[in-house]
Chain A
């Protein structure tokens, strides 16, 4: 995934994840749940990512691990876009 896509992910996070901190202070591998994202906010995040990237997260990817960092989201988007290996991240929260 290129830098532009990560920029889009950060923009979606800023608008929908209701993080109590500026997303730009978090690294790509920072744990978004540890940074204050709630499980309910992760639903909004998922729906907004689907809109932004024109993808749909299947049930098997509805795990905490898929949404817990910019990097894990980018890997999932890559997979759904056909640009990456199947995601092994997991964990519903």
Chain B
């Protein structure tokens, strides 16, 4: 259960213990440039096949705004995972839409293993992109409210 606590002036805030949060902001132009310079190698090394399908426009070309939001989600997740010196390939953190179209975070391989070691039992993600920027926030609940 994610705990909430009231403060005297700021309304309701998360009760700190038991939660971790990560945030990341990225320039959409940086992703556009990577697609232009490195093309398929960039896409295949960073994004899951599901993400590439979800981020293709009607012509089948990659939508840099949506990919940028997903890269931000990967980085936000790495902050929650406190990856430090661990090797966590970008593809081991993926975003997929649930049946209602809401983004969900999917960890596999080393990211999944690290989450287990860190005691993370639930993660959620929110994405946004506006103009030249995309951003993501990841929240994780710690096992046992640690």
> Are B37 and A44 closer than 8 Å at their CB atoms?
yes
Nearest chain B residue, comparing its CB with the CB of A50: B41
The smallest beta-carbon distance between A79 and chain B, in angstroms, is 14
**Chain B residues closer than 8 Å to A80, beta-carbon distance:** none
A61 to chain B: which residues have CB within 8 Å? Answer: 87
A47 within 8 A of B: yes
CB-defined contacts of B45 to chain A, threshold 8 Å? 43, 46-47
Contact segment of B7-15, B78-86, B119-127:
B78-86
Q: How far is the CA of A50 from the CA of B96 in the complex (A)?
A: 29
| B88 at the A interface (CB under 8 A) | yes
Q: Which residues of B lie under 8 Å from residue A43 when comparing CB positions? A: 34, 42, 45-46, 90
Q: Which residue of chain A has the shortest Cβ distance to B33 in the bound complex?
A: A44
A18 interfacial by beta-carbon distance below 8 Å: yes
Residue tally, chain A, CB below 8 Å to B: 24
Chain A CB within 8 A of B135 CB? no
- Min CB distance, B106 to chain A, in Å? 17
**Residue from the list A41, A59, A60 in contact with B30, Cβ < 8 A:** A41
Q: Are A47 and B71 closer than 8 Å at their CB atoms?
A: no
Type the 1/0 row for B73-99, where 1 means its CB is closer than 8 Å to any CB of A: 001001000011111111000000000
Q: Which residues of A contact B85 (CB under 8 A)?
A: 63-65, 89-91
Expressed in whole angstroms, the minimum distance between the Cβ of B29 and any Cβ of chain A is 10
**What are 27 A-B pairs at a CB distance below 8 A?**
A18-B30, A39-B24, A39-B78, A40-B26, A40-B71, A40-B75, A43-B34, A43-B46, A44-B38, A47-B34, A47-B38, A50-B41, A59-B87, A59-B89, A60-B87, A62-B88, A63-B87, A64-B83, A90-B84, A90-B87, A91-B83, A91-B84, A91-B86, A92-B87, A92-B88, A93-B78, A93-B83
Q: Which 9 A-B pairs have the closest CB atoms?
A: A90-B85, A91-B85, A92-B88, A92-B83, A59-B89, A47-B38, A63-B87, A60-B87, A62-B89
Interface residues of B (CB under 8 A from A): 24, 26-27, 30-31, 33-34, 37-38, 41-42, 45-46, 71, 75, 78, 83-90, 110
Q: Give the B-binding residues of A (Cβ under 8 A).
A: 16, 18, 38-41, 43-44, 46-48, 50, 59-65, 89-93
